[in-house]
Structures are given as structure tokens and as C-alpha cells.
Structure 1
């Protein structure tokens, strides 16, 4: 357990430093938002280019990983959505946000720094595979359900087309496409360009963690305990468990990628979750869920990694 805490504690210490810096106004929150934009628009895309361009495509695309992570995410999103809609009697936009909070991991800002400390370079492959699922499968589904609830005069096909158009302009998607194109072409990135990409990619982890901490300052919590508890329980416990079950049940893949798949699923929900909440009129629900999930994830992630190490069901941790 000490070895696991040695991995997770520095990650959450940086988050705490980000929170303290903004709370004490050492770093204004507007600057932290700018740092977040830097990570999303430059650092993470460069990280994905570096991960994909240096490897043969057969080393990157792992169908079992995609099936396990994607299948678990879809199962949980659908379950959360239909439960909120049919049982809790929520509106469609609220139900979509609950499903989103349960199934979308913060793979870039929290998952990647942890998995990098734990598994090394394999973290970049795991991140690329998670991002493919989250951005090309999960995000269009969420946007169609959310936007169609507000644009009932438009068909779901039209809403889906708009969603994919927006995704096509997403720097992370552009980074994936560029990385895959370079990998397929066999082209070697010139050394000065690669060095710049490498420097930007290396900044993604610590800056992202600082941004997470700073973003938690000032989140307003409202009396939404039941819904918040449901979302947090599903995200921090059910999502990793379903991913684990599928990774264990499906045909074997590299044990390092099995561990990475479960570890990414242990992350709290994406950091822009409250922005989606604001878009659909439920910012309080999303902000409260994000704050508590991020705080509690130190315990759940450390416990999950400790159990994987203790049981060695996928082999010993590197």
C-alpha cells in the first residue's frame, strides 16, 4: 500500500496546491482557466501525437481494450440515463448529465498522470484509446441526447451531424488524427519539431493537475445529495468494476494495458463537467458531483490500485 500511495499522493498534492493557489488568490482563477485551455489545445494534443506517431498502428489499436472500456462506459451511461429518466423522473437533459457523470473519466487530467507514474510509457497508449472512446463514441451520444432535449424541432440526425462537426474541430481529435496519419505513413518527425512536441506533451500532466485543483475553488453546492451520491458511487466504484469485469472476461491482452484500462476508469468525471451542466441548466448538480468525486477519488484510486497489486490478477504492477 505504501508503494501505491507513493504514486497517488504526489498527484493529489499537486491538485491541493492548485486549490490553495487559487483559494489564496496567489494565482487568479482566470489564469487557471487559461492554463486549462493550454492543456486542452496544445499539451494533450501533442501528447497524443507523440504517443501515436512513434509506434506502429498495430501497437496502438487494441480492440479488446476499446471493447472493455467502451462497453463499460456505454453500459453505465445507458443505465444512469434510463434510471434517472424512468425511475427518478428527471428531464432528459438532467438524465443525460447523470449518465455522463457516471461514465466519462477525466482520463487526460487525472488518469494519465497517475497511470504514467504507475506504468510509464504505456500510459500514453491507454490515454489514446480512452480518448478515442470518449470523444468519438461517448461524446456524440451525450451531445445528441442533451441538444435534442433543447432543440425538439431538429432531428437527432441533424443534431448528431452538428456534434461530429464540433468534434472535428477539437484539438484532441486533430492530435489523434495527425498521430495516426504519421504512424501510417511511416514519416519521421524532424528532430526540432519533435522536440517542441515532446516539451509541450511533458507539460500536460502537472499543469492539468494544478488546473483541476484551481477549478474546484468556488464551486457552489446545492441540496442535491441523492443525485450527487448516485453519480459519484457509479463513477468511482461501478465504472471501474464493470471495466475490470470486462477486461477479465474478454480475451487476454497485454497485462499492462489491462491495469491501465481499469486505472483510467477509476478517475473522477471530466473536469469540464460543470460546463456541460451550465449548458443544460444543471450546473449545481455537476459542480457538486465533480468536487466530491475528485476529493474522494484519492481514496478510491489508491484502494483500487492496492487491490490490483495485492491480488496480482493481471500480474504484478511494474
Structure 2
């Protein structure tokens, strides 16, 4: 267990550094958007491109991984909405509550953390599941969020807006370009490749620091009291129910003859054991859901993940 903590500790320590720097006003709130921009539009796309280009195309397009992960994600979304949509929580809040449960922090935390733990061969399933969450799971939840007093046109508009958002997100494009480079064996010119390498190496520390800063900003801006019953169960569902569901689905798929290696199952379970994606808070702000509730789910899941994720690593290893 200590060997696991020795790997995971630096990642969560960087998140804590970003949190404390923002809470202590060493990092101005106005600087966080700049950090987000650097990670989202420069460093992380370069990291994803490199992993995609260096990963065999069959791993990037594995139908078994995609099918099992997507089915589990949709089950989790449906169950979360069914259990939480009552009282003051309508479709909008329930849908984003479901998204924050089903969408792990794969980009900012999962890619560097799992590669550090399991090696670069884990990049294929990581990148594939991240693409599913960004394109399919997010679009489904955004469409469901529009059902509060809306007709089918409202849901269709939400899906259209979600797809437009995906089209302007550089991460899916970097994944696609990496996959093409992997398929055709294309190598970048040495100076360009070196530039991409330098940006990719900055992705992990800056992304983790930014997560902490975003969490601190969300906490500082969330002045409304939110009952613990509205966010702690969602955080626990993300950290405990999601990985167990993935493991059970993988075992069922293997029993039915689907080809899933033990290594791939390990990667998928650890992906699901990650805390909630911090970018869900940005979507909540855009679509007018309860930001304080989602921010607390992200914060609690990130804090608890230091222990639960490390335990998951020890169990599946």
C-alpha cells in the first residue's frame, strides 16, 4: 500500500498546492482562466496527441472497451437521475448530478496518473473512454437537462449545442489526429515533435495544480448552504459504485466471450475510481444548474479519492 501512495501522493499533492495557493490568495482568481486555457488548448492536447500517435490503432478503437464503458455510463446516468430527481431537484440539476457521477477526471488527472502507475500501454483505453465521456455521455446529460418544461426541440437544441461545444474542444481533435498518425505511421518533423513533447510534459503538473485552483474558486464562490445529503452520496457513487459497476460489467462481458484482458479491466476499473471531472462545473455554469451542489461533489470526490483510488490500485493490482 505504501508503494501505491508513493506514486499517487505527488499527483494529489499538486492538487492541494493549487487549492492552497488560491485559498491563500497567492494565485489570483483571475489567473485561473489562463491556467485552464494553457492546459485545455496547449498542454493537454499535445499529451493526448503523443499518446494517441504512439498507441496501436486497435487499442484506440477497441469495441469491447467502448461498449462496456458506455453501457455502464448510461446505467449510472439513468440510476442517478431516477434516485435524485425529486423535490427541488428537477431535470436540470439531476442530469448534471448524473454527469458528475459518470464522468471521471480522465483528462486532467487520469491520463498522467494511470500512465505513471501502469505505463504507456494504458493510454489506449484511457483515451477511448475519455472520448466517450466528452462526446456521448455529456451530450446525453445535456439533452436530459433541457427537459424541465421543455419540448423535444429544447432537448434537440441542447444536443446540438453539446456537439458544437465538442467541435470547438481541442481534446477530441488531438485524439483523432493522434489516431490518424498511429494508423498511417506518420512522424512529425523533429523540431515540431520536440515542441509538442515540451508542452506535453507541462500538462500533468499544470493540470493538477489547476484542478486545485478550480476547486478552491468553486468553494469560495459557493455561498449557498447545500445539505450533505445532496452531494456526499453522489461523490461516494462516483468513487465506489462506478468502479464496482465497471468491474462487474467486465466480468459479465468476459463470461459472454468478449475479449478483455486483465490489464484492460484494471485500467477501466481505475479510470472509474477517479474523482469527478472538474470541467462539469463549467457546464453547470453555462446551463444554469445548481453550481454549489456539483462543485461540492467534485471537491469531496477529489479529497476522498486520495484514499479510495489508492485502495482501488492496491485491490486490482
- TM (norm. structure 2) is 0.90
Greater alpha carbon shift after TM alignment, 140-149 vs 67-76: 140-149
Tell me the SS of whatever aligns to 1:267: coil
C-alpha separation between the residues in 1 aligned to 2:282 and 2:109?
18
Contact 1:276 1:283 in 2 (8 A): no
Rate the CA distance shift 1:307–1:84 in 2: closer, same or farther, 3 A.
Answer: same
Superposed counterparts of 1:197-236, under 5 Å: 197-218=196-217, 219=219, 220=222, 222-236=225-239
Rate the CA distance shift 1:90–1:36 in 2: closer, same or farther, 3 A.
Answer: same
1:151 is displaced (CA, Å) by 5.2
Determine the structure 1 residue equivalent to 2:107. Answer: 108
Determine the structure 1 residue equivalent to 2:261. Answer: 254
Determine the structure 2 residue equivalent to 1:304. Answer: 312
Q: Which digits, 9 at most, give the CA deviation of each residue in 1:186-245, with x for residues without a partner?
A: 322222212212221221111111111112224126232111122112111100110111
Contact 2:55 2:123 in 1 (8 A): no
1:88 is displaced (CA, Å) by 5.6
The unaligned stretches of length 5 or more in structure 1 are 310-318
Superposed counterparts of 1:1-318, under 5 Å: 1-85=1-85, 90-149=89-148, 152=151, 154-218=153-217, 219=219, 220=222, 222-251=225-254, 252-278=259-285, 279-309=287-317
Tell me the SS of whatever aligns to 1:141: helix
C-alpha separation between the residues in 2 aligned to 1:195 and 1:70?
35
Rate the CA distance shift 1:112–1:55 in 2: closer, same or farther, 3 A.
Answer: closer
Q: Which digits, 9 at most, give the CA deviation of each residue in 1:261-294, with x for residues without a partner?
A: 1111111111122223333230111111111111
C-alpha separation between the residues in 2 aligned to 1:183 and 1:195?
18
Q: Where do 4+ consecutive residues of structure 1 move more than 6 Å?
A: none
C-alpha separation between the residues in 1 aligned to 2:33 and 2:311?
31
Contact 2:53 2:178 in 1 (8 A): yes
Determine the structure 2 residue equivalent to 1:315. Answer: none
The unaligned stretches of length 5 or more in structure 2 are none
- TM (norm. structure 1) is 0.90
C-alpha separation between the residues in 1 aligned to 2:166 and 2:93?
22
1:301 is displaced (CA, Å) by 0.4
Q: Which digits, 9 at most, give the CA deviation of each residue in 1:7-66, with x for residues without a partner?
A: 111111111111122222222232233112211112221122111223431232222222
Rate the CA distance shift 1:94–1:230 in 2: closer, same or farther, 3 A.
Answer: same
Q: Which digits, 9 at most, give the CA deviation of each residue in 1:64-86, with x for residues without a partner?
A: 2222222211110111012222x
C-alpha separation between the residues in 2 aligned to 1:153 and 1:230?
31
C-alpha separation between the residues in 1 aligned to 2:316 and 2:109?
19
Greater alpha carbon shift after TM alignment, 148-157 vs 212-221: 148-157
C-alpha separation between the residues in 2 aligned to 1:66 and 1:106?
17
1:110 is displaced (CA, Å) by 2.0
1:152 is displaced (CA, Å) by 4.0
C-alpha separation between the residues in 1 aligned to 2:188 and 2:34?
28
C-alpha separation between the residues in 2 aligned to 1:32 and 1:291?
17
1:125 is displaced (CA, Å) by 1.8
C-alpha separation between the residues in 1 aligned to 2:59 and 2:239?
29
Contact 1:122 1:256 in 2 (8 A): no
Contact 2:59 2:125 in 1 (8 A): no
